[in-house]
Structure 1
Amino acid sequence: MEAIIKVEGVKKAYKKRKSKEVIQAINDVSFDVKRGEILGLLGPNGAGKTTTIKMICGLLTPDEGSITINGNDMKTQRLKALKHISAVLEGNRNLYWRLTVKENLEYFAGNRGVSRKDAAFLIQDLLHKFNLKHKENELVNRLSRGMQQKLAIAIAMSAETDVILLDEPTLGLDVETSYEVRSILQSIVKEYNRTIIISSHDMDVIQDICERTVIINNGNIVINDSVKNLLKLFEVRSYSITLGGFLSNHQLSLISHKFPHHTYKKETFQSILEIDLAKSEEIYQIIDILKMDETPVEAIDRRNVNFEQIFMKIIKGEKSNAFAQSS
């Protein structure tokens, strides 16, 4: 599949205020975004994610490396590159609050060079697509948070760019509206062949609609893989073992020594051992430890790992071990 965005060897450093100390925010980051995909761009606070987003949008210039959008270099062909991308930043800063829904769409479509005739047809299509038709004459400052967010995405669509970058598109939305926005984003890719980059702390959104994720930590890319592969990789080695009794101190010592990634919870008449294994066959070592004191086993279940748990594992550095064991 053709890459519409290429980030190659990008570096960005800042000088601390009132200090000569230089902070390396981004260090030799490279990744592609393929045409027609939904990519999750993730990272903890201070990891370099926001800096990367700003460079892709043209708000910051890399110290080294290059960013190209649809073949246009962001440094040497900035205006041509920007014609292919629109962004919705967190906080709805691309809305005029004293204009109506329709007036906002008309203004921004015209601002991006869409003719009045084409804009009229496009706006009606977007009003229906985003379920905003009944609110077209409503002032933006009277809309709910969910309606404002849908309008912000519709405005990004009105620019008819190849790429849409969304920063926290579901932040502060109720569950129903969050699912509606997810459905809209998936339909945008299918019906309009657009490419979407999502930056979000809502891991359910990433798991539900993103095909692939790039995770940045400490200024470096620590993962670039499909969500499906990551879920599969971590899920096969996570188990929950329900015991009909309690582990002895000796058993707990052996488990802690051999399997550092585990939790143990005591309940009234039973206990639960949740454990991550480097290899699936290590489950037999756990069984041997349980047999030592004839600890009764009530159930062994594979744990359902969600993407938020995977994200935290990767950030804590467990990704490299998991990949090494899987190869």
Structure 2
Amino acid sequence: MQRTQARANADATADTVLHVNGLRKTYGEGDDAVTAVEDVSFDVSRGEVVGVLGPNGAGKTTTIKSILGLVVPTSGTVEIAGVNAHERPREVYRHVGAMLEGARNVYWRLTVRENLDYFAALGANPASRERQNRLLSQFGLLEKADDPVNDLSRGQKQKVSLAATFARGTDVVFLDEPTLGLDVEASLELRRELRRLAEEEDITVVLSSHDMDVVEAVCDRVVILSDGSVIADDPVEELVGVFETQAYRVEVEGAVSESVRGTLEARFDAADWMTRGERVAFDVTLTGDASLYDVLDVLRDAGLALSDVDSHDPDLEDVFLSVTEDAR
């Protein structure tokens, strides 16, 4: 899939909060040089929630750290609210919040509320006490407000990090694996809060996660990286729409011969075979001009009776796997 060039090459507008242009990062020199990020460009508008996705080693972390100024890019520019992030970092940082995976994002010796007070004071629009209480309530931390973070569980520490990040009241928030350690209820609450912040408070969120359900539920758009380059940059609905239902779970009565199985695998990518008594079930994926009727013709010619067929609607994970596989 080709990325949307118009979006990547568009000039920053008044509504653009984050403008990344030609970002490149190379480690080492000469023959030993390794390029981690190559010509990464994309824009993010105010109030937009954008997912940055990619397999391990795709350049996600380097890209995000380069945007945040934690890594100095070899070339390219990053502008946040129209300000060059690398030339005027202090001015930019007051408008950017971030929660990074694997980092101790809050102070464990302080209480939960002390952390929110501290990080709120660092932001351009610090959260009021009322808003802090709302954040504590949203993340189920109100009863733990006066407890040292060190005494909390891993999931609760993650919630404190999220609450502290939002307490700063910044225009742009970067979240790296935000649902890590969260239970199902907390993860669902985070989804609702992210959408609310974007829609009601015009906060821009850049999200990196392996949890495709969360990405699909909250993101307006996704930028997919592979081998350090952008291979897709499109709204979630458009990406998923490209992969309209062409996958089916088929169940037949009777034994499927090796010859018929080979035909189904070769023509329709049949997989996930399962035998249940006298019935055999398998998945087929249709591409090109192939249709479900072609599958049924093969089954009929083999004397197999169809007992059930279900369509499989693709989700963002299906799209992600297909796009990154095609890019290899």
Between the aligned residues of both structures, percent identity stands at: 37
Contact kept, 8 Å, 1:236 with 1:280, in 2: the verdict is no
Structure 1 partner of 2:254: 245
Of the structure 1 ranges 67-76 and 241-250, higher mean CA displacement relative to structure 2 is found in 241-250
Q: Distance in 1 between matches of 2:303 and 2:136?
A: 66
Aligned counterpart for 2:309 among listed residues 284, 300, 317: 300
Of the structure 1 ranges 118-127 and 160-169, higher mean CA displacement relative to structure 2 is found in 118-127
Change (3 A) 1:131 1:187: farther
Report the alpha carbon displacement of residue 56 of structure 1 after superposing the two structures with TM: 1.5
Q: Does 1:60 align with 2:68?
A: no
**Which blocks of at least 5 consecutive residues in structure 2 are unaligned?**
1-12
Q: Trace 1:1-327 onto structure 2 (pairs within 5 A).
A: 2-15=15-28, 21-91=32-102, 93-112=104-123, 119-260=128-269, 262-279=271-288, 281-317=290-326
Aligned partner of residue 109 in structure 2, secondary structure: coil
Report the alpha carbon displacement of residue 95 of structure 1 after superposing the two structures with TM: 0.8
Structure 2 partner of 1:324: none
TM-score normalised according to structure 2 size: 0.87
One-letter amino acid of the counterpart of residue 197, structure 1: V
Query: Residues 165-212 of structure 1, C-alpha deviation per residue, up to 9 Å, x if partnerless?
Result: 011111122222222222222222223211111111112211222222
Aligned partner of residue 26 in structure 2, secondary structure: strand
Structure 2 partner of 1:323: none
One-letter amino acid of the counterpart of residue 42, structure 2: F
Query: Residues 277-303 of structure 1, C-alpha deviation per residue, up to 9 Å, x if partnerless?
Result: 114752222222222222111122111
Report the alpha carbon displacement of residue 218 of structure 1 after superposing the two structures with TM: 0.8
Report the alpha carbon displacement of residue 25 of structure 1 after superposing the two structures with TM: 0.6
TM-score normalised according to structure 1 size: 0.87
Contact kept, 8 Å, 1:237 with 1:280, in 2: the verdict is no
**Which blocks of at least 5 consecutive residues in structure 1 are unaligned?**
321-327
Of the structure 1 ranges 259-268 and 129-138, higher mean CA displacement relative to structure 2 is found in 259-268
One-letter amino acid of the counterpart of residue 184, structure 2: V
Change (3 A) 1:280 1:242: farther
Report the alpha carbon displacement of residue 86 of structure 1 after superposing the two structures with TM: 0.7
Aligned partner of residue 238 in structure 2, secondary structure: helix
Contact kept, 8 Å, 1:39 with 1:196, in 2: the verdict is yes
Aligned partner of residue 316 in structure 1, secondary structure: helix
